[in-house]
Amino acid sequence: MILRQTAAGTRRLLPATARATVAALALTGTAMPLPARAGEATGVGSTELPALSVTARRGSPQALEDVPAAIEIIDRTRLDAVPATTVARALEQATGVIIADGGSTTRFSIRGFEDGQALILVDGHRRRGRFGNVDLSAFDLGSVDRIEIIRGPMSALYGADAVSGVVNIISRDAATEPGTSLQTLAGVSENGERLTRIGRAAVETGRIGQTRNRLDLSIRSRDPWSEAGSAFDDLKGESSRHAAWRTAWDVAPGHEITLDLGYEELRAKGLGSNGGRVPMPVDSREHETSRTGALTWAGEVGPGRITLSGSAYHTEGDVLRTGSLDTTRIDGRELTGFYTVPLGADHVATVGFEYLEEDIDLSVLAKGSADRRSRAAVAQDEWTLAEDWTLLAGIRYDDFSDVGTTTNPRATLSWTPGPWTFRIGAGTAFKAPTYLQLYSVIHRGRSVIYGNADLEPETSWTAEAAAAYRFADGAELGVTVHNSEVEDLITTRLTTPGRYDYTNIGTARIRGVEITGRTPIGDDLMLTGSLEWIDARDTTADERLGRRPRQQGKIGLDWAADDDTLVHLAGTGMLSYYAPVGFGASNLGNVSTDYGRIDVKVSHRLTQLVEITGGVDGLIGTHVPDNLQPFEPAERFFYLGVNLRY
C-alpha cells in the first residue's frame, strides 16, 4: 500500500504494489521494540515508512523502539493482509494471546492468565458489554487503525484488570483530504451453512476549516451453523450494526480536540440446549445495544504535553438461554488526565489521574443493582542512565468504593547495545472482583453459579527477562521469560451437586517462555512466528489450571506473488489444551486436546480503485476440539470480497 504522512497521521490511499505491502509488514511492531526506523532499509523492497508510535506511555505517543515492554502492534497494513473479519480473529496471531468462545462473548487471555485479567481499551477508554465484560467480536474491524498489545503487568500505569497486559484498540483518524471507501464480503462454510455477509462504508470530509471528520458504518450477518448430526445450533445466527463518528478540531498549533461517538447493536438467535442431563432444545437469543462518547483535548503546555479526556458509555441488553431471560443495563463515566514532561536531559516524567464511576443493573445480581466508584493517581519516570541504558519506574494508587485501596509499583531496566536489546523488569498487579463474581445468581440448566460478596481482590507479582537481536537484513529474534505469583485467584468451584460458587483458591503460579521472530526472504516474502510454553498451576491444590495450552505456536507468511497480488498464510496451533467438555450436569471434566489450523487469504488489485480479496479459513486443520468451544465453524469457510477506495 502507499502510505502518506499528513497532519492527521499516516493515511492509506490506494492499493499499491504487493511488494510495497510486504515491505510495510516488515515494519510492523513485534514482541520486542526493534522495528526499523523511518527511512531505514528493511531488506524487503524499498518502501520507506514513518516510524511506528504507540500510546503505551498514556496520554503521549512514544516511538515503538523506545517502549521498555513486551509490545506488539497489529497495524492497518497487517489488518488488511490477514484473514480476519473481527478484532478477535485479528488477535489470534498475536504472541501470548488465547482466543476461545465463552458462550455469549469471546474469551480472551494473555500469557495463560484468566479471561478478564487483561484490560481492553478503545482509544484509551474503558468499555463494558453485557454482564460487565468486553466482547472483542463486537468491534468493527473496518474502523480500526491498529491494535496495541502490551504483555505483562501494567496495573502501575493502567490500574485494575491490567494483570496480564493491555489491549488498546485505536480507531482510524480523520484525514486532511476527502475520501470514500466501500467494502463488501460474503462467505459460506463447506456444508452450505453459516452464510456470512459484511458491508462497510467510510466517508472522510477532509479539512473543513479547522476540523476533519470521518464516518464509519458497517453491517454484518451470519446464519446459524450446526455440526453434522447435531440437534442444536452449535453457532447461533448473528447480526450487527456499527456506526462511528470522529471530529478532530485543530484548535491551534500543537492543540487538538477530538470528539468520538459510537453506536453498536448486536443480535444472536438459535436453537440451544437446556444444559440438562437429557439435553432438550430451547430458543436462545441475545440482543445488546451500546452507545459511547468521548471528548479529548491534547496539547502542549509549557515544556510538556497534556491530555484530558472524558468518556461515557451506556449498554443494555437481554440474553435468553436455557429458558431464562437475563437483562443488563450498565452506565459508566470516566475522566482522565495525564501530563508528560522532560525533566532535564535524562528524565521524562508522567503524572496523571483517573476517575471512574459505574452503575450496573443485572437481573442475575442477587441484590438487583450495584455501583462502583474508583479514583487513581499515577506517577512514572523514564530515566536515561547512559546512552544505551534506560530505567523506567512507576507507581499507581487506586481507591475503590467497594473493595478498598491498592498501590502497585513497577520497574524495568533496558540495555540496547547496538543490534541487541536486553530487558529485565518486575511489577505488581491488582484485579478487583467483578459484579458477577460478587453478587450474581446465574442459572445454567440444572446448575446454579453463586456470587460471593466476601471475595478478596486478586493480587500478583510478576518478573520477566527478555533478549532480542536485530540482524542486518531486518530479521529479528527475541526471547522472553516470565514468572507470575498470583494470590487469591478467583474461580468457580463445584461445592454441592449442581452448585458452583465463586471463591478465592489461594495461590497460583503462571510462568512461561516466549520466542518470537521474523525474517524477510528475498524481496517478496516475509515470515513471522512465535512459540510459547505455559505452565499454569493452582499451587494451593497442586493442580493444573484449565483453559490453557501447554504450548502454542503461530506463524504468518506474506508473499507478493506479483506487483498486484498478495498472499497471506496464517497458522496457529495448540498442544495439550486443558479445559472442560460440557457444562453443568453434562460437564465431563477437564480433558487435554491438540489443535492446529492454517488459513489463507489472497488480495489482488484490479485497478487503482478496485481490489478483490478471497480466502479459506481452515484450509488445513478444520477439526476444533469440543473443549476449545470454537467461535467459528469446525470446517472450511470460503469467502470473497471487493474493496473500493477513491
Separation of alpha carbons 164 and 33, rounded Å = 19
CB atoms within 10 A of CB 558: 27
Please give the angle made by the CA atoms of 209, 214 and 220, to the nearest 5 degrees: 165
pLDDT < 50 stretches in the chain: 1-15, 30-51, 103, 584-585
425 strand-pairing partners: 412, 464
Taking the C-alpha atoms of residue 291 and residue 582, their distance in angstroms, rounded to an integer, is 34
Q: How far is CA 404 from the centre of its chain?
A: 28
9 is a domain residue: no
Collapsing DSSP to helix, strand or coil, 584 comes out as helix
Q: Which tens digits make up the pLDDT trace of 303-317?
A: 999 999 999 999 998
Residue 641 included in any domain? yes
- Determine, yes or no, domain membership for 4: no
In three-state secondary structure terms, 176 is coil
**Three-class DSSP category at 253:** coil
- Report how far apart, in Å, the C-alpha atoms of 233 and of each of 104, 224, 636 are: 14, 6, 17
Do the domain assignments include residue 8? no
C-alpha cell of residue 148: 496495541
- Count the alpha carbons within 13 Å of 124 in the hemisphere toward its beta carbon: 24
What pLDDT score does 260 carry?
A: 98
> What CATH number does residue 234 fall under?
2.40.170.20
Is the separation of the CB atoms in 532 and 511 below 8 Å? no
Task: Calculate the alpha carbon distances from 254 to 7, 56, 61, 391 in Å.
Answer: 11, 20, 13, 29
Q: Is residue 499 part of a domain?
A: yes
In a domain, 310, yes or no: yes
120: enclosing H helix or E strand? strand 118-122
pLDDT value at residue 41: 35
Q: Would you state the pLDDT for residue 55?
A: 62
Q: Give the bridge partners for 389, in sequence order.
A: 386, 415
- Give me the domain span that covers residue 496: 18-645
- 2 in any annotated domain: no
Residue 11 lies in a domain: no
Set of cell numbers at residue 33: 521494540
Q: How many domains does the chain have?
A: 1
What is the torsion angle, in degrees rounded to the nearest 10, for the CA atoms of residue 144, residue 147, residue 153 and residue 158?
-30
d(CA 492, CA 272): 23
The helix or strand, by DSSP H or E, that contains position 30, with its residue range, turns out to be: none
